[in-house]
Structure 1
Amino acid sequence: MVAVGFHSHWLNGIDYIGQSGKTASKGAKYPPEYTGYTFPLATSIVLSGQYEDDLDNCEDIVYTGQGGNNLLGNKRQIQDQVMLRGNLGLKNCMEQCVPVRVVRGHQSANSYVGKVYTYDGLYQVVNYWAEKGVSGFTVFKFRLKRLEGQPLMTTNQVQYTRGRIPNSISEIRGLVCVDISDGQEDIPIPATNLVDDPPVAPAGNCKGTCVDPKSCACARLNGSDFPYVHRDGGRLIEPKAVVFECGPNCGCGPGCVNRTSQRGLRYRLEVFRTPKKGWGVRSWDYIPSGAPVCEYIGILKKTDEVDTASENSYIFDIDCLQTMKGLDGRERRLGDVTLPTYLEKDDDKKSESVPEFCIDAGSTGNVARFINHSCQPNLFVQCILSTHHNIKLARVTLVAADNIPPLKELTYDYGYALDSVMDPDGKIRQMACYCGAEDCRKRLF
């Protein structure tokens, strides 16, 4: 970056034009269009893990100013920062609405220096403040937001895993709720908001051994084998139209591998505010492919009793039967599932065309209601039967479709067909999609 003039200093995270209109490390004068600006002015910043207080939410950044950091030692803060040089440059950028280039550094085993750098576009400095950092010294914080209308971030093309997991509640930045499950889950789920000013909390309240598959009646319904492998606490081998799990009428205990989805949360999740998509969810832990993440919880309703005029966006149709039959463009998923005889003879044509039941998480739900849509998601929907075999009332569980690194946003495909959503007047409703996927459909519905 130094060689091509993109960032003029090999070590400083902030590059800036100095008081005399020169760069921080070069002597060349800048063009006359800079006349009238107050200097110094920051031109670019690099996020590469040098500062323990940085917080990176992709399109929303809390960046730690320069100075007082033991760059050649343990990288921790060892003295207070001052409002000079690059720090003053970022402050002047905010006051004069000058955008700043943002570059990210990523660990890379294939690079001879151990890192690759990606340019992720222009960001606007929207706020700054001074606070006591993690190490107890005063640091300046600068909040930057990515300007709209730019191409997708180059970071999307690399495995983005950099991020610092907080060690305690007191270290969580932008905390608006300590536990949105209010103790209903075994693992607390904090919520953070670094987007809204002032920050607000998400609405809504949260109101849950077999060894031989040949001797397990539930395993026989799954094609005479267990749908899960024992590795990593139980992982689904492949997506199925429906998974039959052991339940209260079985002789096995809660440790049975065929009860994997019933064990509650196993990963530390965080609800966070996104710039364009409302609330989102990410995991602090690595999630292996096939691992159940969470169940979609809400109030069970009949679909024909849902108030379509309310614009409730937390309705989840239980469309297991439609998926099994490959209706309305759904990708048929059956595999080796052996259906009970009464399910194969289902003559309810209405239930075939439209799901009879749905889950309404609008007023009562769990963390799943905050998981966003993506046209290229990292979760998939899995219908599960455990306490009964009524496929119209299957439990809905979200399962990892791939290995998911820590701090990666969790997403699944909402499955809307374009032009399928109507307003109360019968007109087609449209909603733009901001998932950022390479093959994004541009519209949610």
Structure 2
Amino acid sequence: MNSVLPSPRFPDLNGFPDTTAFRVEPKLEPLDEDLESPPGMFTPGSSARNRNPGFDLNANADGVASVGTSSGVSKGAAAPEASNVLSEFNRISEIFNSAFTSGGCEEEESVMEEEERNELALAIVAVPEEQAIVPKKIKYPPRSNELVRVTNLTEEDEQYYREIVRRARMIFDSLSVSAVVDDDRNIAGGTFDRKTRGDTKAAGLMRECGLWLNRDKRIVGAIPGIEIGDVFFFRMELCVLGLHGQVQAGIDYLPSNRSSNGEPVATSVIVSGGYEDDEDSGYVITYTGHGGQDKNGKQCAHQKLEGGNLALERSMHYEVEVRVIRGFRYSGANSGKIYVYDGLYKVVDTWFDVGKSGFGVYKFKLVRMENQPEMGSTILKMAQMLKTKPLDVRPRGYLCLDLSGKKETMPVLLFNDIDNDQDPLHHQYLVSTVIPKYVFQVGSHSGCECISGCSFDCLCILKNGGEFPYDNKGMLIKGKPLVFECGPQCRCPPTCRNRVSQKGVRSRFEVFRSRETGWGVRSLDLIQAGAFICEYAGVVLTRDQAQVISMVGDTLVYPSRFAERWAEWGELSQIYSDYVRPSYPAIPPLDFAMDVSSLRNVACYISHSNSPNVFAQFVLFDHNNVMFPRTMLFAMENIPPLRELSLDYGVAEEWTAKLAICN
């Protein structure tokens, strides 16, 4: 990666008011609801600290340093110890010191620095001084003052940074799930009686271990490794990745008291309907500035041209692009909301107007920049319509509205608008793997006696090492060589927490024809990381049977060849120094194949990838023969609607080319 080259600073504006010290009133968005921040994550009650506002801003004509990359140097440049634009894992500055409002409006709030007063809308109750326990504060390096724009990434660079982001997100998702499960276990054991928010606990642990991304530079424009359409379930994840550095404020910006010329610059905004005067038509947004709202979100005072408002105005003046993230209500999210990255916008106009409540508000017109992929929010809306009226959205291209013939709990659509290939219609749909009868006669298969639901000391949970494999929402906590679920011999009800993969698909899938991968699979629903997708179904063949079938040229699927991506889900060695890869329950090398030449299900059309978003997890529930587990598929990351599913078949190059099912 090339070094940052110096160029002229922002020009000074004659007569422009001094904004070195200003009242920061961030545009607050509705906070992710639920519980509280983990101890040590944010420290209420501390005062703002003074920092040296002076620094050198290496800038180009629009005030932002541009950095180009070339293949072959990106990997070395991203090393944590190197001086470079992007650091994979850097500690972040302390981004929160609480602010107590003394009255109805935000105008009554105390003066604080931008990063130290990102107010969390939580129920904070004052404690008498003699009862207060002041937690030990951890010092973190401050967030960088330097603005840069990353340009000219090669395809290799993009894949590299995508992998960095993917692994950081897996750590965050795994920690979020395991944190909630740990609380459940502590509560059940009587050692803890209060839950913490999984997302804030995950963010706190990652920050302590220096795993927050893109903190050594403030990136203007696109973040390497984050794609338009990426979906996030928590605001804290945006902070961890550096996409939006504010916990609750809707405008993220470099404040004037840290800018080399005393002027703020906005880098990203969140649009989620937090202000009554906002208007969003997709490509054009009328965005209302911050300030003047009471605790109920009602405008109660005039806004001022300062803080984030001034930053957006300055971004317009210097034609600096801003990232736009949209927030949506979503019933499947823990917080009731999801966030989708929709790309880059330019601030083209600003004016002061009388809002709906009769108070003066600043408005900003944001227009989406050209030559970008389709907005993620548009795809979300399209997928929602496809679930109810697919033929109204796509009158041509559907070959079948349920490839499974109503065998699955959700319909499987078949779509091809490229050619005349109808191959999936020529195969019988198979819901679950056909296993030889003799497999069920090997070993005793005794079930648990849990009438109302399994507990930590139940027989099936003890088979899993005394741990539940799933959380209360059915998310896989961490990958293992083998997972034991409750089965037909168990007395627990169908609603038992330990019955996940045997319930069938939960999302609406679409088998579609692609010019790049042949036949592929995508979902019409948003799939959360760790969620069950479906079983990889086929007819089980022994080694001798597989040799006979392969002699006539038919391609077989070998579960033993699937890459062990399950080990990456829940891999927390960068968080815990004593982390050990799960090795229990152990299983012998699998020595069987699956024939999918005539009987198959939707999973058989998932394409191969070396950087997959789906992984295979072996599961047993209806028999006890560990040599013949079922191959269940789980989401490795959040998978937005209409994004293709991919699986690492773990096969050699010559065998991958023969995977005729998908290609």
Give TM-score scaled by structure 1 length: 0.53
Partner of 2:603, secondary structure, is helix
Q: Which amino acid aligns with 1:170?
A: L
Do the aligned residues in 2 keep the contact of 1:318 with 1:394 (CA within 8 Å)?
A: no
Compared CA separation, residues 112 and 303, structure 1 to 2 (3 A): farther
> Which residue in 2 is equivalent to 1:81?
none
Q: Which amino acid aligns with 1:335?
A: P
Q: CA deviation at 1:194?
A: 1.1
Cα distance in structure 1, aligned partners of 2:657 and 2:522? 27
The answer to which structure has the higher helix fraction is 2
Structure 1 unaligned spans of 5+:
1-47, 50-71, 76-105, 121-154, 327-332, 347-351, 422-428, 436-443
Do the aligned residues in 2 keep the contact of 1:242 with 1:334 (CA within 8 Å)?
A: no
Do the aligned residues in 2 keep the contact of 1:373 with 1:413 (CA within 8 Å)?
A: yes
Q: Aligned to 1:108, which of 317, 321, 342?
A: 342
Deviations 1:42-72 (A, max 9, x none): xxxxxx99xxxxxxxxxxxxxxxxxxxxxx9
Cα distance in structure 2, aligned partners of 1:394 and 1:277? 28
Q: Which amino acid aligns with 2:594?
A: I
Compared CA separation, residues 379 and 279, structure 1 to 2 (3 A): same
Structure 2 residue 569 is the aligned partner of structure 1 residue 335 = no
Structure 2 residue 472 is the aligned partner of structure 1 residue 230 = yes
Structure 2 residue 560 is the aligned partner of structure 1 residue 319 = yes
* Root mean square deviation of aligned Cα: 3.9
Q: Aligned to 2:418, which of 182, 190, 195?
A: 195
Do the aligned residues in 2 keep the contact of 1:245 with 1:384 (CA within 8 Å)?
A: yes
Cα distance in structure 2, aligned partners of 1:372 and 1:183? 24
Cα distance in structure 2, aligned partners of 1:322 and 1:73? 44
Q: Aligned to 2:453, which of 195, 210, 213?
A: 210
Give TM-score scaled by structure 2 length: 0.37
Do the aligned residues in 1 keep the contact of 2:454 with 2:498 (CA within 8 Å)?
A: no
- Which structure's CA Rg is the greater one? 2
Cα distance in structure 2, aligned partners of 1:159 and 1:311? 42
Do the aligned residues in 2 keep the contact of 1:107 with 1:116 (CA within 8 Å)?
A: no
Compared CA separation, residues 175 and 417, structure 1 to 2 (3 A): same
Compared CA separation, residues 178 and 391, structure 1 to 2 (3 A): same
1:401-440 matches, within 5 Å, as: 401-418=636-653, 421=655
Compared CA separation, residues 280 and 220, structure 1 to 2 (3 A): same
> Which residue in 2 is equivalent to 1:185?
408
Partner of 1:235, secondary structure, is coil
Cα distance in structure 1, aligned partners of 2:659 and 2:630? 29
Do the aligned residues in 2 keep the contact of 1:161 with 1:405 (CA within 8 Å)?
A: no
Q: Which amino acid aligns with 1:319?
A: S
Name the count of aligned residue pairs: 270
Compared CA separation, residues 199 and 312, structure 1 to 2 (3 A): closer
Q: CA deviation at 1:408?
A: 0.6
> Which residue in 2 is equivalent to 1:277?
517
1:334-373 matches, within 5 Å, as: 335=582, 337-339=584-586, 352=589, 355-373=590-608
The answer to which structure has the higher strand fraction is 1
Q: CA deviation at 1:358?
A: 1.7
1:7-22 matches, within 5 Å, as: none
1:371-410 matches, within 5 Å, as: 371-410=606-645
Compared CA separation, residues 321 and 390, structure 1 to 2 (3 A): farther
Q: CA deviation at 1:322?
A: 10
> Which residue in 2 is equivalent to 1:294?
534
Partner of 2:461, secondary structure, is helix
Do the aligned residues in 1 keep the contact of 2:561 with 2:649 (CA within 8 Å)?
A: no
> Which residue in 2 is equivalent to 1:162?
379
Compared CA separation, residues 255 and 292, structure 1 to 2 (3 A): same
Partner of 1:190, secondary structure, is strand
Q: CA deviation at 1:321?
A: 12
Percent pairwise identity: 34
Cα distance in structure 2, aligned partners of 1:200 and 1:322? 30
Structure 2 residue 415 is the aligned partner of structure 1 residue 175 = no
Partner of 1:228, secondary structure, is coil
Structure 2 residue 441 is the aligned partner of structure 1 residue 220 = no
Do the aligned residues in 1 keep the contact of 2:400 with 2:414 (CA within 8 Å)?
A: yes
Compared CA separation, residues 217 and 175, structure 1 to 2 (3 A): same
Cα distance in structure 1, aligned partners of 2:527 and 2:539? 28
Do the aligned residues in 2 keep the contact of 1:240 with 1:335 (CA within 8 Å)?
A: yes
Compared CA separation, residues 277 and 115, structure 1 to 2 (3 A): farther
Q: CA deviation at 1:171?
A: 2.3
> Which residue in 2 is equivalent to 1:33?
none
Do the aligned residues in 1 keep the contact of 2:527 with 2:640 (CA within 8 Å)?
A: yes
Do the aligned residues in 2 keep the contact of 1:223 with 1:336 (CA within 8 Å)?
A: no
Compared CA separation, residues 432 and 182, structure 1 to 2 (3 A): closer
1:26-37 matches, within 5 Å, as: none
Q: CA deviation at 1:400?
A: 0.2
Structure 2 unaligned spans of 5+:
1-227, 230-278, 283-339, 348-365, 433-451, 568-579
Cα distance in structure 1, aligned partners of 2:414 and 2:539? 23
Do the aligned residues in 2 keep the contact of 1:219 with 1:226 (CA within 8 Å)?
A: yes
Q: CA deviation at 1:195?
A: 1.1
Do the aligned residues in 1 keep the contact of 2:481 with 2:585 (CA within 8 Å)?
A: no
Q: Which amino acid aligns with 2:559?
A: I
Structure 2 residue 500 is the aligned partner of structure 1 residue 260 = yes
Q: Which amino acid aligns with 1:219?
A: I
